[in-house]
Amino acid sequence: MGAAAIDLLYWRNVKQSGAVFSSVLLLLFSLTQFSVVSVGAYLALAALSATISFRIYKSVLQAVQKTDEGHPFKSYLEMEIALSQDQISKYADKILLYSNTCMRELRRLFLVQDLVDSLKFAVLMWLLTYVGALFNGLTLLILAVVSMFTMPVVYEKHQAQIDQYVGLIRTQVNSVVGKIQAKIPGAKRKEE
């Protein structure tokens, strides 16, 4: 994750983080009420209204002041925005690597290469059926965005207490997993 993204999530610049957080939340709440096509069209109309109004304002201002500043968006119109072949290749390679890794892992889990991992995956999927019954995907996305912007700051302020409780929970979970593995034949993990 880049330094700019980390600064954004840790609220180093409150105005910038607030603007991004509120914009993303507004977009997600809009998507709960309207279709993606409608939200996209309204956003495009809002941006177009702003740029057309600014262009007309600048043109009137130039006519009244009798100046020749030119097009107000000239610098943006002259910027190069094309993706290079190297960038496309780099991202395609990353997507390919991620896809292959996911397919290998899913094959390993579904074909029960390791019984304990497949059972953990089955429990996770079973829990997700309950999560899916309570929330839709958009609600989970909203919760994820809110968590992304709040959890890092909370952890930074209360790191010692959180680490202590996480350590206790991890110890208990490892103890329970060890007991379960001891009772299931063929489920003992290799020492790593």
Model pLDDT for residues 54-79, shown as the tens digit of each residue: 999 998 988 888 888 888 888 888 88
pLDDT at residue number 66: 83
Report yes or no: 31 and 39 within 8 Å, Cβ to Cβ.
Answer: yes
Terminal CA-to-CA distance of the chain, rounded, Å? 29
Question: Is residue 191 scored above 70 in pLDDT?
Answer: no
Query: Distances in Å between the alpha carbon of 127 and those of 35, 122, 146, 166?
Result: 29, 9, 22, 21
pTM: 0.62
117 contacts 109 by C-beta, under 8 angstroms: yes
Q: What percent of the chain has pLDDT over 70?
A: 96
Is the pLDDT at 189 greater than 80, yes or no?
no
CA distance 18 to 34: 24
Give me the percent of the chain exceeding a pLDDT of 90: 58
